[in-house]
Amino acid sequence: MDIQDFLAMEANSDRDDLVDLRALDFVSSYDSHLMCPICHCPFVQPVRLQCDHVFCQKCLGSAITTFRSADSDEFPCPSCRTPTTRISTRVPRLLVNMCDEIQVRCPLVGEGCNEIVPRGHVQSHVEKYCGYRLLPCPDESYCRCERCNEDVMEQDFAEHDKELCPSLEATCDDCGSIVPRRSLKKHVETCPDVVSACAASQYGCSVKVRRADIAAHEQQCPLVSIGPYLEAQNTRLNSLELTMRHLQQRNEIFEDGMANIRSTLLESARVSDADRNGGRSAPNGDRDGQALIDAEDPADPANSFSSHTTQYLLSLHESLREEVSQMSHALTDLDARASMTIMNECLRIKEDMAHTNAALNSVRMQVQWLMNPRLHNGTRANGMRTNSASNESTRTQLTSTSAPGPSSGTGVSLGPLRPRRPSDSGREGTKL
Amino acid sequence: MGSQKRIAKELSELVESPPDGITVELADEANLYKWKVFMEGPEGSPYQDGKFLVNLTLPTEYPFKPPTVSFGTKIYHPNVTNDDKGSMCLGMLRADEWKPSSKIAAVLQFARQLLLEPMPDDAIEGRIAEQYKNDRKRYDEIAREWTRKWAVSE
């Protein structure tokens, strides 16, 4: 493209990039040939001239505006001063890649980002990934307070308007002085003209004077001087009331318990009475005790209650014992029955096993009888063959192993021979 | 604004690894555009042992406009004006010769080289240039004397 086009492109290209690629902190070292001769930084958007010199697009733009003699269509190359008319934005990919892979520190290192990225990625890192970039708050709805010219957030405006605005003032009702509204409460607490009651008002002093005069009154007021004593009495009364309440509660609980006990005793007495009247079979001792109790009954009802209970408990005990003995009887019964059934079962199983054994034996006999002639013939022939073969092998073994020691040689040669014969004969014996 | 970044970068480079016989500082901490450079007279020149103050002023259009260099210490040299301005004429600093890719370090090294080898054909002080060409011995003598007088601090 020619100079006019280039300058137009340069003017249109986006200038407000987030990151100034020339102000970066370069971590890795780079070749000085990757440095633009004008800005002395690694090329940013390099462009190439006819003379093969390469510059950043922006640097070349400023060089052209400085060096070009009024609107002529050529300018001297900033490196070699060759008159140049055409600029190529096509530079070797290699050059761009080498510039873009130089490692740089994230420019937000001041905010705390310690990331090191290739220069080609720093733009997108800052734009999208860097967690330290400062952003404007999305909620910018401020209201301006008209009285104090202060920007207040919308949510706080009502409070500001009524209380916090420093321009608001309020008059103290008592002393008539004018104070900022926000400190009115504090003022009222300390205002010397506020009428307040005597400290002993709770004990009956009805005097009410200004705060400034109250000290003088309190020195004379008799109620104030006995105030501490009354206070102590009050606390004592309170604590006593508390203990009283506790005791009352405990008492109630005890009474309840007593009533319960009484009602159970009455019930049991009635039950035992019914027992005695209903069944005459009760033991003698029991009847005697009952008679004794009956005799004493009118004299001492409490004593009769206790004897009734013992009687009741004894009878209960007795019946329980009976039940237990019945249970044990039943248990032994069950035990005997179970062992009998087990024994029966065992006997039957034993019989079955004897039968099975007999059948098995007869089958074995038959099988042996069937196998006998065939085995007899087979082993004869086999035995003769194997015997001759093994004899030959032992002979060769003998000759070969005679060198280390004759005794061991014979041992080896007899080993395989000996067990065969007895086993063969044994088998023949069983067959017969 | 672009100029400030580049100037700051070049300044930090010069302070961190200064070239031979040259130290750089800001004349005023708040102003990046005025530098104070102390240049030691190169060995083998009549300016040896002298320490010359060089004021470097950068235009706001830097690096598109060249910086200006002037000697704050009086010096007897064909390329430096013999007045209280002490302006120095460097070929590469002329507006039509200046290239934005030149660095200040290169300018300062060039200036120091000029102390070692004056350029009488490109001189401001014609008289001194003439003397340098025809009566080298006398030139050396005066230059050494001026150096001793102005540029050597006891």
Q: Is A192 exposed, middle or buried (0-12, 13-18, 19+ CB in 10 A)?
A: exposed
The confidence band for A297, taking pLDDT boundaries of 50, 70 and 90, is very low
The confidence band for A234, taking pLDDT boundaries of 50, 70 and 90, is very high
The reported pLDDT for the residue numbered B85 is: 80
Average pLDDT, integer, range A220-249: 90
- Tell me: do A430 and A411 sit in the same domain: yes
Q: Which ipTM value was assigned to this complex? A: 0.73
Work out the minimum CA distance from A37 to partner chain B, whole angstroms.
4
Average pLDDT, integer, range A238-250: 95
pLDDT winner (highest mean) among A235-239, A395-399, A414-418: A235-239
Question: Would you call A63 and B99 a contact, using CB atoms and an 8 Å cutoff?
Answer: no
The reported pLDDT for the residue numbered A139 is: 64
The confidence band for B130, taking pLDDT boundaries of 50, 70 and 90, is confident
Count the domains in chain A. 4
Round the average pLDDT of chain B to a whole number and report it. Answer: 85
In-domain check, residue A22: yes
The reported pLDDT for the residue numbered A392 is: 55
Q: Is the pLDDT of residue A108 over 90?
A: no
Which of B5, B65, B100 has its CB closest to that of A37? B100
Q: Is the pLDDT of residue A417 over 60?
A: no
Beta pairing class for A208-210 and B22-28: unpaired
- Tell me: do A97 and A185 sit in the same domain: no
Q: Indicate the SS3 state at residue A179.
A: strand
In whole angstroms, what is the distance from residue A125 CA to residue A123 CA?
5
The reported pLDDT for the residue numbered A249 is: 95
Which of B22, B26, B89, B116 is catalytic? The answer is B89
Instruction: At B7, give phi and psi (nearest 5°).
Output: -65, -45
In-domain check, residue A325: no
Strand partners, A179: A170
Which of A38, A41, A58 has its CB closest to that of B100? A38
Query: What is the Cα A404 distance to its own chain's centre?
Result: 77
Which of A39, A67, A79 has its CB closest to that of B5? A39
The confidence band for A238, taking pLDDT boundaries of 50, 70 and 90, is very high
The reported pLDDT for the residue numbered A141 is: 66
In whole angstroms, what is the distance from residue A418 CA to residue A306 CA?
99
- Tell me: do A282 and A372 sit in the same domain: no
In whole angstroms, what is the distance from residue A208 CA to residue A368 CA?
135
Is A63 an 8 Å CB contact of chain B? yes
In-domain check, residue A181: yes
Q: Is the pLDDT of residue A304 over 90?
A: no
Token representation of residue A381? 């022939």
Is B8 an 8 Å CB contact of chain A? no
Contact in structure between B100 and B10 (CB atoms under 8 Å): no
Percent of chain A exceeding pLDDT 90 equals 23
Answer whether 0.80 is exceeded by the pTM: no
Q: Is the pLDDT of residue A244 over 90?
A: yes
Question: Would you call B2 and A37 a contact, using CB atoms and an 8 Å cutoff?
Answer: no
In-domain check, residue A331: no
Work out the minimum CA distance from B33 to partner chain A, whole angstroms.
16
The whole domain housing B59 covers: 2-151
The reported pLDDT for the residue numbered A275 is: 74
- Tell me: do A12 and A123 sit in the same domain: yes
The reported pLDDT for the residue numbered A184 is: 75
- Tell me: do A355 and A415 sit in the same domain: yes
Q: Is B41 exposed, middle or buried (0-12, 13-18, 19+ CB in 10 A)?
A: buried
Average pLDDT, integer, range B103-131: 86
The confidence band for A413, taking pLDDT boundaries of 50, 70 and 90, is very low
Question: Would you call B99 and A59 a contact, using CB atoms and an 8 Å cutoff?
Answer: no
Q: Which residues of B touch A37 (CB under 8 A)?
A: 99-101
Strand partners, A144: A151
In whole angstroms, what is the distance from residue A121 CA to residue A19 CA?
11
The whole domain housing A162 covers: 134-191
- Tell me: do A17 and A80 sit in the same domain: yes
Report DSSP state, residue A52. Answer: S
Count the domains in chain B. 1
Percent of chain A exceeding pLDDT 70 equals 78
Q: Which residues of A touch B64 (CB under 8 A)?
A: 38, 62-63, 66-67, 78
Using only C-alpha atoms, chain A has a radius of gyration, in whole angstroms, of 61
The reported pLDDT for the residue numbered A330 is: 95
Average pLDDT, integer, range A103-124: 86
- Full 3-state SS string of chain B: CHHHHHHHHHHHHHHHCCCCCEEEEEEECCEEEEEEEEEECCCCCCCCCCEEEEEEECCCCCCCCCCEEEECCCCCCCCECCCCCCEECCHHHCCCCCCCCCCHHHHHHHHHHHHHCCCHHHCCCHHHHHHHHHCHHHHHHHHHHHHHHHHCCC
The reported pLDDT for the residue numbered A347 is: 94
In whole angstroms, what is the distance from residue A42 CA to residue A313 CA?
109
In-domain check, residue A241: no
Average pLDDT, integer, range A50-71: 84
The reported pLDDT for the residue numbered A415 is: 43
Q: Which residues of B touch A81 (CB under 8 A)?
A: 99
Q: Which residues of B touch A22 (CB under 8 A)?
A: 2, 5
- Tell me: do A27 and A99 sit in the same domain: yes
Q: Which residues of B touch A52 (CB under 8 A)?
A: none
In-domain check, residue A111: yes
In whole angstroms, what is the distance from residue B125 CA to residue B86 CA?
11
Q: B89 an active-site residue?
A: yes
Q: What CATH number is associated with residue A171? A: 3.30.40.10
Token representation of residue B12? 């930090």
Is A98 an 8 Å CB contact of chain B? no
The reported pLDDT for the residue numbered A405 is: 44
In whole angstroms, what is the distance from residue A431 CA to residue B20 CA?
121
Q: A152: part of which helix (H) or strand (E)?
A: strand A151-153
Q: Indicate the SS3 state at residue A405.
A: coil
In whole angstroms, what is the distance from residue A33 CA to residue B151 CA?
39
Q: Is the pLDDT of residue A131 over 70?
A: yes
Is A59 an 8 Å CB contact of chain B? yes
Supply the DSSP string of A4-41, one letter for each residue: HHHHHHHHHS----SS-TTS-EE-S---GGGB-TTT-S
- Tell me: do A375 and A271 sit in the same domain: no
Position of tokens 């049991």? A268
- Tell me: do A98 and A171 sit in the same domain: no
Minimum mean pLDDT range among A16-30, A142-156, A228-242, A379-393? A379-393
Q: What CATH number is associated with residue B129? A: 3.10.110.10
Average pLDDT, integer, range A423-430: 48
Work out the minimum CA distance from A131 to partner chain B, whole angstroms.
27
The reported pLDDT for the residue numbered A408 is: 44
Of A115 and A288, the structure prediction assigns the larger pLDDT to A115
Q: How far is CA B61 from CA A59, A66, A395, B1, B89, in A?
A: 12, 9, 117, 9, 20
Q: Is the pLDDT of residue A401 over 50?
A: no
pLDDT winner (highest mean) among A13-22, A93-102, A249-258: A249-258
Question: Would you call A23 and B5 a contact, using CB atoms and an 8 Å cutoff?
Answer: yes
- Tell me: do A30 and A104 sit in the same domain: yes
